[in-house]
Amino acid sequence: MNALILGGQSPRHQVWVRQVAESLQPYFQVVTFLDYRHWQGDSEPDVAYEMEQASKLAATLGEYVIVAKSLGTVITTRAVEKQMLNPAQCVFLGFPLEVVNKTYQDIAAKLASLPATTVVQNTYDPTGSFELVEAYVKMHGNRRVNCLETPGDTHNYIDFALIAKLASGTH
């Protein structure tokens, strides 16, 4: 089994995807991640472009899981629905409900296409509290999508041991 990591919108996720990759190394044969094009400049993310890039990376992986944070959850959900990505399972961190409701309303209908997925959400994540994200997922998701509450009031997800356990199935 292999792993593909998709970070969030902020360029600081260049470090985060590498930290996650390091935590996943003992559990997977190949661990790779996508460096988004917009991290190199001041441009806005191009979700369609990043979906294509993620698809190209995934094509080399065989069976794989996806670990995605924030914007990465949007990229993953859209790409799975379009059959550009076909992960065995997903771990989503910090589902950006506020942004999804404003900019990516189509995600609601696409949640049903996801494979077994765990959405890890901090209790008071400023982009969407656990309570609101869980209600959204239950309303629009499928039985294969489960939510896991973690304590916190930030949009940071740095419990790399937990991420590794969830992604590798060793929990």
> pLDDT tens-digit profile of 13-72?
999 999 999 999 999 999 999 999 999 987 889 999 999 999 999 999 999 999 999 999
Q: How far apart are CA 166 and CA 117, in angstroms?
A: 10
> Phi and psi of 57, rounded to 5°?
-65, -45
Averaged pLDDT, 80-96: 98
Burial of 43 (0-12, 13-18, 19+ CB in 10 A): exposed
Structure-block tokens of residue 56: 């190209």
Helix (H/G/I), strand (E/B), else coil: 95: coil
pLDDT of residue 42: 72
Q: Which domain holds residue 29?
A: 2-168
pLDDT band for position 141 (cuts 50, 70, 90): confident
Burial of 13 (0-12, 13-18, 19+ CB in 10 A): buried
Cα separations in angstroms, 152 against 75, 104, 122, 125, 160? 24, 25, 5, 7, 15
150 DSSP 8-state letter? E
Q: How far apart are CA 67 and CA 87, in angstroms?
A: 10
Mean pLDDT of the chain: 96
Sign of CA dihedral 52, 53, 55, 56: positive
pLDDT of residue 170: 75
pLDDT exceeds cutoff 70 at 171: no
Structure-block tokens of residue 140: 């629009």
Q: Domain with 88 in it: what CATH number?
A: 3.40.50.1820
> pLDDT tens-digit profile of 142-170?
889 999 999 999 999 999 999 999 999 97
Structural domain count of the chain = 1
pLDDT exceeds cutoff 90 at 121: yes
Q: Is this prediction's pTM over 0.95?
A: yes
pLDDT of residue 16: 98
